[in-house]
Amino acid sequence: MSTAARPRAAALVSGGGTTALNLIEQDRAGVLGVSVSLVIAHRTDIPAVERCREAGCEVVVVEGPPCAATSDRVDELLGQRAIDLVLLAGYLRHFRVGPWRGRVLNIHPALLPSFGGKGMHGDRVHEEVLASGASRSGCTVHFVDDEYDHGETVLMREVSVDPTDTVATLSARVRGMERIAYPEAIRMWVAGRRSHDSPL
């Protein structure tokens, strides 16, 4: 683990970077509990790359097909930067947990275990929620294991589903809750680590 005053975090992105930018903003405001010191993207042409660089964060692109060599490169970067916590922020590739077990968090735009699993991300999740007739949705922050959307839940936050909702309106409501829930879960992780590290 890093010996810095605050744990060092890396955000892994695959899209617009909205989640990562929220975490960077919370970090800059001094209320996140970790320092978001690295962003890893899997393509150069996604909006998150430029947006996170403009926000003053180091961004490294690790291109290539999902394979052991690509995972090795990601592991190498995390190790080189002395990363303590990995934050999946709309990352659409399977993350090889390996030595990072217990130190990888993900946020999912539904109440797991419902509407989760491989291929369930973005608008598809909200489409499935609306098609099901569910009256509640929300977001789940969980530890990452070797299965999609499967690891231990850290916290859930709910939103209501209105009969008049569209994918766009439900998505906006869930995103608003995600902006609150992910930083809260990160602070819980930090508090738990400090408690674990404290002498009896």
Say whether 108 is catalytic: yes
Contact 51, 21 (CB under 8 A): yes
Give me the phi and psi of 160, to 5 degrees please: -80, 155
Q: Which two tokens stand for residue 19?
A: 């989640």
- CA dist., res. 155 & res. 142, Å (int): 7
CA distances from 109 to 55, 59, 87, 98, 159 (A): 24, 25, 15, 25, 11
Q: Which ranges of the chain would DSSP assign to H, the alpha helix?
A: 18-28, 47-54, 68-80, 123-132, 167-197
Catalytic residue among 108, 121, 126, 142: 108
Closest CA to 3 of 67, 89, 84: 84
Looking at the annotation, which residues are catalytic?
Answer: 108
